[in-house]
Amino acid sequence: MTRPARGSRKPTTRSRKRKPAPTVPRSLVRHPLVRLAIFIALSGGCVALIIAAMVLFNYDRLAARYDLTAVDRMPLESTVTDGTGALIGYLHGENVGSPVALEKVSPHFLNALVAREDSRFYTHHGIDHRGLVRAWLRNFQEKRTVQGASTLTMQLTRMTYGLTGRTMQRKLLEMAIARRIEKNFSKEEIIALYVNRIFLGTGMNGIEQAAQGYFGKPASDLTLPEAAMLAGVIRAPNGFSPFRSYDAARREMRSTLHRMADEGFITEDEASAMETARPEVLPQSRWMEMLRRHAKISEQNHLLKMVDDEVGAMFPFLAGVGGLKVRTTFDIRLQSAAEEAVARHLTALESQPGYPHPTLADHFEGEPAYLQAATVVMENFTGAMRAVVGGRDFSHSAFNRATQAQRPMGSIFKPLVYGAAFERGLFPGMLVSDGAIEPGEIKWDKIGWSPANSDGVFGGMLTVETGLIKSRNTMTVRVGEWAGIEHVLAMMEHSGLGAPERAGPTAPLYIGTVGADVRGVTSGYTIFATGGIRHEPYFIESVTDRDGAVLYEHVDANYRVLSPGAAWLTSNILKKVLEEGGTAASLRELGFTAAAGGKTGTTNDFQDAWFVGYTSRLAGGVWIGLDQPGKIMEGAYGGRIALPVWNDIMKEAERIGYEFTDFAEPEEVISMELCRETGLLAGEGCAASRNVYVEQVPHDLIPRKFCKTAH
């Protein structure tokens, strides 16, 4: 029986009448509402197409900024040195694999990889549109992300440029870059770069490391079950690692084998036959020893994390490539001294009888509840950070208390209040009341706040400098009112301690109730040594790539915070804080003899202990407290527990060659008779009421008017 030719119809004895296709009445089409609906639909479609085109154009433009030469550069460790060139450590030295040519990779693994991760790899142009639609529909149904649609090219994009996050913006950028990669590299080049970079768990990067680490053989010798197991590891390298969960790794192996059968790389019979295979995985200890021997791994610490975070933010497109030489401002000699000083003094505190908190020695797991400390040492005239201690043990907590923690400043904020007041006509020898703040005295304060002094005693009229030397709260509030709250807030912002809108105009701010980090506070104190100039703190000096090209060199950023005269007047008082009668007089008793100024700080109920001081060259800040704010111990004043740490650091700085000289004087200082009440040039009424005194006045702060007040 022959089949009728295509297109012919077998004659039938009876024909059917075909029903006419339904038509839309012309009158309905002409109806204004229908025509409006059609117009809106067409317009909406056009607008949607225009928006889509604009989005694609925008992400193509963003993608064009990424250097494609980074794609075929295999990862290298980045080297971090201190300011003298001494090695601090490596960034991502453990992420450097052993690249091999594609022909030296088992075909079993290449087939398993494509079947498991990107079955249409050889036919798409960087984006698997079918897979993308399928994944989005599935995720929409589940109302959560349960399926991805990343091609091997998109995954290579992430690995190369360090793209992170699960946002739509990141995905669109990833797609745009993937299209560029597909236009510039062959499929063989893309898959070769992929297999040499892919992370396969437990510090293994690239197929060669994984084959050697898990099975003790080169990638070319992987068997089908071994290849399927490694391809299954990719989606969750740590969760499916054969070292950690052999059963999970075998489950992924079986799944991959059947995916290979579905894609025609092997038969279903072969997949079924291999299901029961149990690839022999070597001990993890063997691999860890290999990693220690061959990879460049540094013990992680706060310095390296700071550098890693900063360089990653500066050059995100090089995150997966490395090979950088990062020169920092740190001095590992001073860094060691700072770490040792913190360890020694806090261990001594913990060993005191009746110490009320857990100790570092007793810590086992979880967030540390023991006493913490943070220190920063920086150059006054450049802002270069020489040492940073972010906590006592990085392995217990990576949180950097020197740069990330915002702790109440207490009395260490007071010098900025006095500096702001000196700029507005106050002088150290003028008289200010130490009495209680009376209701309504601070006219803009709505809560009627009245602070006590730390000794619980109120005094009479005292000189302004006494208020700072003795750290008198009530006097500081009145000095702040002389300056004006708006000027104190501006001083706070310009000194690097925070924005005024964060602090808010509250009267307690005068005595340091607002929080700041140790880096910011230390930077703020440098202005007293530099004549009022603040240099932005920094710790990256330069970055060069693997070819020696300079990617970044630091350029000093500085600006004036205080007038030279106001900075000098404040500094003179802070020098007296370290002498007999000052809150930091114990520094001289500890044997530190160089010219210096500084201030202690202790917050309510001994929750935060501070000392911030400076010499002619270096400024240093020390904070001690608990991560969860609480009373450190009775009598935990900043001058008692924080100042000794500063002393040890600065003594070591002197020993290793940092020179501390006398502070520079202003160009012209004049002895002048002033009124003790107004700060103006003494008038006849001042002399009659015995309100005249002699002040050393910097040229830029000379009053221009005579006092006419009737005292």
pLDDT at 499: 65
**Does the pLDDT value for residue 318 go beyond 60?**
yes
Rg (CA), the chain: 36
pLDDT at 138: 64
Q: And the tokens for 617? A: 């060259």
Distances (CA, A) of 287 to 203, 228, 683: 9, 20, 86
**Does the pLDDT value for residue 497 go beyond 80?**
yes
Please list the residues that pair with 76 across neighbouring strands.
Answer: 322
Q: And the tokens for 636? A: 């935990």
Query: Can you tell me the mean pLDDT for 35-51?
Result: 69
pLDDT at 293: 79
DSSP string, 305-326: HHHHHHHHHH-GGGTTTB--EE
What is the spatial distance between Cα 113 and Cα 248, in angstroms, rounded to a whole number? 18
Query: Can you tell me the mean pLDDT for 150-169?
Result: 86
Q: Side chain identity at 626, as an amino acid letter?
A: L
What is the spatial distance between Cα 250 and Cα 240, in angstroms, rounded to a whole number? 9
**Does the pLDDT value for residue 40 go beyond 80?**
no
pLDDT at 454: 86
pLDDT at 7: 36
Average of per-residue pLDDT values in the chain = 90
Examine residue 319 and state whether it is found in any structural domain, yes or no.
no
Examine residue 235 and state whether it is found in any structural domain, yes or no.
yes
Q: What are phi and psi of 434, to 5 degrees?
A: -100, 15
pLDDT at 500: 57
Number of other residues whose CB lies within 10 A of the CB of residue 27: 8
pLDDT at 54: 67
CA of residue 184 relative to chain centroid, distance: 35
Examine residue 267 and state whether it is found in any structural domain, yes or no.
yes
CATH at 134: 1.10.3810.10
Structural domain tally of the chain?
2
Residue 640 near residue 583 (C-beta atoms within 8 A): no
**Does the pLDDT value for residue 15 go beyond 60?**
no
What is the spatial distance between Cα 50 and Cα 42, in angstroms, rounded to a whole number? 12
**Does the pLDDT value for residue 667 go beyond 70?**
yes
Query: Can you tell me the mean pLDDT for 101-115?
Result: 96
What is the spatial distance between Cα 540 and Cα 291, in angstroms, rounded to a whole number? 29
pLDDT at 21: 53
> Among 294, 329, 361, where does a domain finish?
294
**Does the pLDDT value for residue 76 go beyond 90?**
no
Query: Can you tell me the mean pLDDT for 613-627?
Result: 98
Examine residue 398 and state whether it is found in any structural domain, yes or no.
no
Examine residue 280 and state whether it is found in any structural domain, yes or no.
yes
Which of 25-29, 33-37, 398-402, 466-470 shows the lowest per-residue confidence on average (mean pLDDT)?
A: 25-29
Examine residue 161 and state whether it is found in any structural domain, yes or no.
yes
> Which of these, 684, 673, 672, 674, lies nearest to 709 by C-alpha position?
684
Percent of the chain with pLDDT over 90: 73
pLDDT at 250: 97
**Does the pLDDT value for residue 1 go beyond 50?**
no
Tell me: the pLDDT tens digits for 240-283? 999 999 999 999 999 999 999 999 999 999 999 999 999 999 99
Examine residue 528 and state whether it is found in any structural domain, yes or no.
no
> Which of these, 509, 347, 489, lies nearest to 442 by C-alpha position?
509
Q: Exposed e or buried b for every residue in 259-271, given b needs 16+ CB within 10 A?
A: bbbeeebbeeeeb
Residue in the structure block whose two tokens are 């109920």: 605
pLDDT at 9: 36
> Which of these, 206, 88, 26, lies nearest to 540 by C-alpha position?
88
User: Residue 215 gets which letter from DSSP?
Assistant: I
Tell me: the pLDDT tens digits for 638-647? 999 999 999 9
Confidence band of 681 (pLDDT split at 50, 70, 90): very high
User: Residue 352 gets which letter from DSSP?
Assistant: S
What is the spatial distance between Cα 503 and Cα 481, in angstroms, rounded to a whole number? 16
Confidence band of 28 (pLDDT split at 50, 70, 90): low
Distances (CA, A) of 435 to 214, 261, 505, 689, 693: 76, 88, 23, 22, 22
Query: Higher pLDDT residue, 37 or 223?
Result: 223
> Among 248, 278, 294, where does a domain finish?
294
User: Residue 605 gets which letter from DSSP?
Assistant: G
What is the spatial distance between Cα 658 and Cα 511, in angstroms, rounded to a whole number? 33
Q: Please tell me the chain's helix, strand, coil percentages from 3-state DSSP, rounded to the nearest 5.
A: 45, 15, 45
DSSP string, 460-495: SEEEHHHHHHTT-HHHHHHHHHHH-HHHHHHHHHHT
**Does the pLDDT value for residue 4 go beyond 50?**
no
Q: And the tokens for 345? A: 């003094």
Helix/strand/coil for 290: helix
pLDDT at 400: 98
Residue in the structure block whose two tokens are 């030469």: 69
Confidence band of 571 (pLDDT split at 50, 70, 90): very high
Distances (CA, A) of 129 to 155, 191, 491, 591: 15, 19, 56, 73
Query: Can you tell me the mean pLDDT for 289-306?
Result: 87
> Among 254, 279, 294, where does a domain finish?
294
Examine residue 106 and state whether it is found in any structural domain, yes or no.
yes
Which residues fall within 8 angstroms of residue 485, CB to CB, at 6 or more apart? Answer: 444, 505, 507, 509, 510
Q: Exposed e or buried b for every residue in 573-588, given b needs 16+ CB within 10 A?
A: bbbbbbeeebbbbbbe
Identify the domain containing residue 279 by its residue range.
Answer: 97-294
Q: Is 18 exposed, middle or buried (CB count within 10 Å of its CB: 0-12, 13-18, 19+)? A: exposed
pLDDT at 132: 72
What is the spatial distance between Cα 634 and Cα 641, in angstroms, rounded to a whole number? 11
Query: Can you tell me the mean pLDDT for 304-322?
Result: 87
Query: Higher pLDDT residue, 552 or 291?
Result: 552
pLDDT at 121: 95
